[in-house]
Chains A and B, each alone.
Chain A
């Protein structure tokens, strides 16, 4: 029995996992990273457009601060977010982006003086301030009221990932590449590490750790068309689910990015529209202002994706042999701007479609992009159901995104969560009561269980084909659990997925090798993914309202009276065929921003929560009472959050206008 011991075991080598590893290691804890792929190949690299941080550097971002970022994020989430955690996030984001600047990320910088930009389809001259010269540049993004998104051309995620990964190399943090965590080891409600399979040799081993971190990203591959990398299958999320103790939250909240390249689904950044690009239909008509007069092409992603499909339903899609799509037009930005600021977009268009986006329109269609849900954590990043298990980044429902994430808030979350959760893990490991006592018998049992599952797939005589099951699952999810949902389709989806789950327990693998065996990998991952798909479908069926990315044709209104609560899914017994759903209410009386209108999307006709008017009156009264106080005093009076931040992060952010 091979067993490795460490203080902190990080599963996942993307931005969140790497930043957590750095935090833990710097506090003196032995840290090991496990990764399916070399860390620099993680899906974080695919983030293009940028990272939100309210620096207020650019003239179009002047007046920006944590308060504005907070409000944009909560509105974007359709009030599904945990507002205290959003506060922690927006407060730390400027520190995160500045730390990355010091670590070498080649952020695009500001030149003082005049420059030409495209706003609402027109060329406009704006002038950057003298004191902003050489600071981080910021672009416009969807659902934001200021230009806040810091970027490195259209390769932001890549540049961030390389800088952070290189920091972990500098810190001599070991990374085991090409390994996969198959199960979490746990005993009496305490996580003790993971059972890990070496994807090259096939060997199983146990990694025992005081703190185990899941930072494995999202699950876009539950759908047929996705911007996500092939490794974004949600396996890390499922191994938490399979403990029967850790709950997954809001799995029905799945974001579809408006501009997936058609038909492959490869991401075309929101930065295209942030920089002035427009969506057009079969007639070349710019249709978004017809639906969203206020935010137009730059409403939040859930809204834009729905409007695109609505417009196609009206017969305005562009027909092709693969189906219908719409156009993204960035020709108006000009070649020079595209080459400088949207270079990766140009490359993708050339490589995959052989077109030049400075002359040609880009075919786009919404594609599954981001998993707002994930393993539920408290503000420290720890699972309330399983002590010693921490989760961060897209795999977590920490919950800053609620039912819709704003563009630029995902890579920001990875680093911010890495900083905050990393510190809380270090504090956890420092405490004597966190010491771990684990029996080798428990480790042996967990190893034997995983070994038996692999044997069953190889020699159990099963005859189901994992690939066919997976393709079917993706079809069900795409057709019945997609952008527009109804009770009928969702109920069918749940039934069909349940049947698929039963079949998946009878998968057979043709290639009998216990070593490297891609077919075996597809087999056990498919079993896990179908469980996750069921969590999405069941959550969506139960939620009889529309909120953010979860849209029900049969319940088109947001219903705060009934649904201002988080879905919690647990998988009680391995033999179950459905998750068990519970709910966690959001406390309106503690909200800094009481539920209201988003200012885009459907007309404000949501069903009001009974506490909302009372809380709104309270907030209003507090603001009046503190009319002469500074914004920090007002904020603290409304919803204190400082105590939740690690001590080193409780410091105000400096800005050029002196407003900190």
Chain B
């Protein structure tokens, strides 16, 4: 309840709709008055409702759990919905995440990218048996293992790590920290029958773990604070060992 006049914020926003022939990329400033507890979600909606109904951006949960609203906030990838304006200066620059296909303005197609990554890395449990007998008591798991899997399973596929990655910007097919983290997650999971040589087939090259230049922008920007640095280093060591095995993949069969 302070009496200080609210700040005027200037949101300078990247505008471009590649589907509209008359549109050209440009930066457009909008002014909003800061309110208590204002997030970029609130600020951007205010811009769209009051100033510019054509502005495109993506929000879904507005609670930091769905990963829809990642964008470059003053040049740094982050979730707009859980960024409080009070944490920023009065001049705020917003741009779409690089490395993903631009839909328009601040909206990028992370969904398509993530689905392709999932298909390529087969990011699902490869069960030991066929059908689940769901009438029986579930398989036991060490609580610490379950917790360790959960820790990595918290990834929300927001794309911040890809946007912050030097390799991903140069190499279109690089699976990114998001992909490497998923392999680390399934490797931990006793329910998955895949072995390191299977994972080597998926990430044992320059589009996988050996493409990482250890710049670790991914680790710095991850909004879920996933331990990406250790996971990537660990996977690289495992995959290097796997790649150096003498009788690797004779006949190509598993």
Q: Which A residues lie at the B interface, using CB under 8 A?
A: 37-38, 40-43, 45-46, 94-99, 101-104, 106-111, 133-137, 152-153, 155, 158-159, 162-163, 166-167, 169-170, 175, 177-178, 200-201, 229-231, 263-264, 266-267, 321-322, 340, 344, 347-348, 351-354, 467, 509-511, 513, 515-519, 651-656
Q: B124 contacts A45, CB within 8 Å?
A: no
Does B111 sit within 8 A of A, measured CB to CB? yes
Complex Cα spacing A231 to B63, Å: 13
- Quick one: CB contact mask for B57-92 with A, threshold 8 Å, 1 for yes? 011111111111000000000000010100000000
CB within 8 Å for A351 and B134 given contacts A104-B189, A109-B142, A518-B54 = no
Q: B146 contacts A107, CB within 8 Å?
A: yes
CB within 8 Å for A177 and B111 given contacts A229-B62, A230-B60, A354-B84 = yes
CB within 8 Å of A: which B136-169 residues: 136-143, 146-147, 149-150, 153-154, 156-157
Does B10 sit within 8 A of A, measured CB to CB? no
User: CB < 8 Å: which of B1, B37, B142 contacts A353?
Assistant: B37
Q: A155 contacts B137, CB within 8 Å?
A: no
Q: A135 contacts B82, CB within 8 Å?
A: no
Does B238 sit within 8 A of A, measured CB to CB? no
- Quick one: CB contact mask for B1-33 with A, threshold 8 Å, 1 for yes? 100000000000000010110000000000000
Q: B132 contacts A99, CB within 8 Å?
A: yes
Q: B125 contacts A104, CB within 8 Å?
A: yes
Q: Which B residues lie at the A interface, using CB under 8 A?
A: 1, 17, 19-20, 36-37, 39, 48-49, 53-56, 58-68, 82, 84, 103-104, 110-112, 114-115, 118-119, 122-125, 127, 132, 134-143, 146-147, 149-150, 153-154, 156-157, 186, 189, 191-192
Q: A109 contacts B141, CB within 8 Å?
A: yes
Q: B53 contacts A510, CB within 8 Å?
A: yes
A-B contact count (CB 8 A): 198
Q: B56 contacts A40, CB within 8 Å?
A: no
User: CB < 8 Å: which of B104, B123, B134 contacts A99?
Assistant: B134
User: Smallest CB-CB separation from B156: which chain A residue?
Assistant: A158
Q: A101 contacts B53, CB within 8 Å?
A: no
Interface of B is mostly: loop
Q: B125 contacts A511, CB within 8 Å?
A: no
Residues on B with C-beta less than 8 A from A352 are 37, 39, 63-64, 82, 84
Residues on A with C-beta less than 8 A from B124 are 103-104, 163, 166-167, 169-170
A-B contact pairs, 5 of them (CB 8 A): A37-B68, A106-B149, A106-B153, A200-B19, A519-B53
CB within 8 Å for A515 and B138 given contacts A46-B66, A230-B59 = no
Residues on A with C-beta less than 8 A from B119 are 169
Q: A38 contacts B111, CB within 8 Å?
A: yes
Q: Sorted from nearest, which 9 A-B pairs have the closest CB atoms? A: A38-B111, A134-B140, A519-B53, A166-B124, A104-B125, A95-B134, A109-B143, A106-B150, A351-B82
Complex Cα spacing A40 to B111, Å: 9
Q: A158 contacts B154, CB within 8 Å?
A: yes
User: Smallest CB-CB separation from B123: which chain A residue?
Assistant: A166
